[in-house]
């Protein structure tokens, strides 16, 4: 959710509350799925506080998990017909491919943009378009490295189909990777998602594919870095 801008002419506050707001604005909040991964090492740090190496190791682990599960605020564009990146990462593929069979989108190749997430990237997934969720299908599979082309077909995945107000179907597929062993998808059939809204998360290295209707203009370039919910990767027909 985007923060509201400060109206012009508003005097700058020097109160403690203002300082707290500045800290909140600089430090991304934590996704709820990351709470157990942060609280567990913090508990170890408390229990082992008399042992320096235990305390330091546990605090380092808690900080690393907090960084991995960070959930920064993003402001999506308001232009009609744009598709935003569903994840932070590097564009690995800009091509055409047959969508996952479970989505029933046909057997003809459709435009696709694939984004690879390293363990250092923000790992929440965001809706690439605004629309109604018409399908959500989880399919078990392998755990090949997510940067391999075959990962789209054989790895464990969660596929979601969105129907926009303009009548277009856009699919976004969360794909597990070599280290990713857990895909979280909070969206359900019948939900209406605004563009850029957070709907899921993949733990520890992964990939996200987006499939577009025929005639879509792809704007992403291979090797480009994307910012989830903000980077425009395509223009719908």
Q: What 3-state class would DSSP assign to 44?
A: helix
- CA torsion sign for 25, 31, 37, 42 is positive
Residue 119: which of 93, 152, 156, 147 has the closest Cα?
Answer: 147
Distance of CA 151 to the CA centre of its chain: 18
Residue 71: which of 125, 3, 4 has the closest Cα?
Answer: 125
Q: Is 84 left (phi over 0), alpha (psi -120 to 50) or beta?
A: beta
Q: How far apart are CA 4 and CA 175, in angstroms?
A: 33
Concerning whether 206 is annotated as a catalytic residue, the answer is yes
The catalytic residue positions are 206
């Amino acid at each position: 959710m985007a923060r509201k801008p400060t109206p012009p002419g508003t005097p700058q506050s020097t109160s403690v509350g203002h300082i707290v707001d500045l800290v909140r604005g600089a430090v991304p909040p934590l996704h709820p799925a990351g709470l157990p991964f942060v609280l567990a090492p913090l508990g170890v740090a408390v229990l082992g506080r008399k042992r320096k190496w235990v305390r330091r190791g546990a605090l380092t682990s808690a900080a690393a998990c907090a960084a991995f599960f960070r959930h920064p605020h993003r402001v999506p564009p308001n232009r009609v017909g744009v598709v935003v990146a569903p994840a932070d990462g590097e564009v690995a593929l800009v091509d055409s491919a047959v969508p996952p069979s479970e989505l029933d989108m046909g057997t003809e190749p459709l435009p696709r943009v694939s984004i690879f997430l390293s363990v250092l990237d923000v790992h929440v997934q965001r809706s690439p378009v605004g629309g109604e969720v018409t399908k959500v299908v989880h399919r078990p599979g392998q755990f090949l490295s997510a940067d391999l082309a075959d990962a789209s077909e054989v790895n464990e995945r969660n596929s979601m189909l969105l129907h926009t107000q303009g009548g277009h179907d856009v699919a976004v597929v969360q794909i597990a990777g070599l280290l990713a062993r857990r895909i979280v998808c909070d969206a359900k059939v019948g939900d209406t998602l605004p563009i850029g809204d957070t709907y899921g998360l993949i733990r520890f290295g992964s990939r996200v594919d987006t499939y577009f209707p025929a005639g879509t203009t792809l704007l992403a370039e291979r090797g480009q870095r994307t910012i989830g919910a903000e980077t425009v990767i395509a223009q719908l027909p």
